[in-house]
Structure 1
Amino acid sequence: MDDMVNNLLIRKIKPEDAPEITAIQAAITNPSTVIDFKHIIEEKVQNNEEVSFSAELDGKIVGYMISYVVFGGFGLEKSAWIATLGVDPKYMGQSIGRLLAEKLLAVYREKGIDYIFTTVRWDSVDLLSFFKTLGFDRSDYIHLTKKLDAS
């Protein structure tokens, strides 16, 4: 594992990473969920304020973490949200997610961001455990949702 970690490159995400990120997402979630990662990366991530990374090993994307900055709202000061992350199932358990998160947290710390939020399904025990090991805890906010009917 040490060789793998030593050869792992954590770098800013790029639009050309989208196909490999899409493949990772399809491997770890419901395949009927369609996410346009190319659009997300091109429109939301490629500016200096946002912080999102790909984990590359031997020229192949093996993990990613996409986040964005929120400038206030609902009484929050400027904060960040981890929107999505994933690690290729063949590489899970090899610290890739932790390394991506540590890099992301360090960059936001340098930017003066004090709070980072994310949303996790209540039954995603592995993901909840992952974030707990990084120091995340329940927030004072309750996540609400509403499905809009077609008009």
Structure 2
Amino acid sequence: MNALKAEAKKRGCGSLQTQADWHQQELLAFFANAEFALAARNVLTRDTSPLALDEEDDIGLRPVRSLAETDLDSIRRIDRHITNEDRSTYLQQKVSEVISDSGIRVSMVAEQDGMVAGFVMARVDYGSFGRADSTAVVDTLGVGPEYKGSGIGSALMAQLMDNLASLQVENVRTEVEWENFDLNRFLSSAGFRPAQELSLSCAI
């Protein structure tokens, strides 16, 4: 672990992050001894069954398509409004991963009046955090402020679940800062519930 911390610090990382099932007491003790602490993030999960939507919801009228490299500027704008931070480097890295990955692509944008109104960046992981099954991970999700409450987020999430189910991926997971009440509330309405894993972090 010390070697990993040293290498991460050399690469400019400020912390190490992981997840562990709260039942795995020996593993949790190991991380505690390695100076990991409980992070202020909720680990949430749901299966890939269709979203439960109101009958009058017209999300089908909101076009959703695969994310493209040309969407980066719109994604940056939306993300900056939500986070009040400039995460250009992180978002550029994520978009590059989506474009260069020759495997399964599940990142998408929703459009309204020909403009990018929201986005979801997700990926399919095989065996991350010690799991043997395939699980989708939502890295980031955002809706433009002018489209808040218009069903853009639900349209993205509904299409994501449909796509993942068709790929025979059974579960999807994400991590959310515990004080991000709006996002936690939205994910709860989309069927996400607390997972059995704890989010752990160690400053280096």
TM tier, smaller = 0.7 to 0.9
Which protein shows a greater Rg? Answer: 2
1:70–1:80 Cα contact (<8 Å) kept? yes
What is the aligned counterpart of 2:122 among 61, 67, 74? 67
Q: Alignment partner of 2:136: what SS?
A: strand
Are 2:86 and 1:28 equivalent residues in the alignment?
no
Q: Which moved more, 1:57-66 or 1:35-44?
A: 35-44
Aligned CA RMSD, in angstroms, stands at 2.0
Q: TM-score, normalised by structure 2?
A: 0.66
Higher relative contact order (CA 8 A, sep 6+): 2
**1:115 maps to which residue?**
171
1:22–1:35 Cα contact (<8 Å) kept? no
The AA in structure 2 aligned to 1:87 is V
Pairs within 5 Å for 1:77-96: 77-96=133-152
| Distance (Å, rounded) in 2 between the aligned partners of 1:93 and 1:54 | 16
Q: TM-score, normalised by structure 1?
A: 0.87
Aligned pairs, how many? 146
1:15–1:38 Cα contact (<8 Å) kept? no
CA 146–44 in structure 1, closer or farther in 2 if over 3 Å, else same: farther
Which consecutive unaligned segments of at least 5 residues does structure 1 have? none
What is the aligned counterpart of 2:202 among 135, 146, 149? 146
Q: Alignment partner of 1:146: what SS?
A: strand
What is the aligned counterpart of 1:40 among 68, 88, 94? 94
Alpha-carbon offset, residue 48 of structure 1: 4.0
What is the aligned counterpart of 1:19 among 61, 64, 73? 73
1:81–1:117 Cα contact (<8 Å) kept? yes
Alpha-carbon offset, residue 9 of structure 1: 1.4
Alpha-carbon offset, residue 39 of structure 1: 3.2
Alpha-carbon offset, residue 32 of structure 1: 4.3
Superposed CA deviations along residues 10-29 of structure 1, whole A, max 9, x for unmatched, are 10000100001000000111
| Distance (Å, rounded) in 1 between the aligned partners of 2:161 and 2:200 | 26
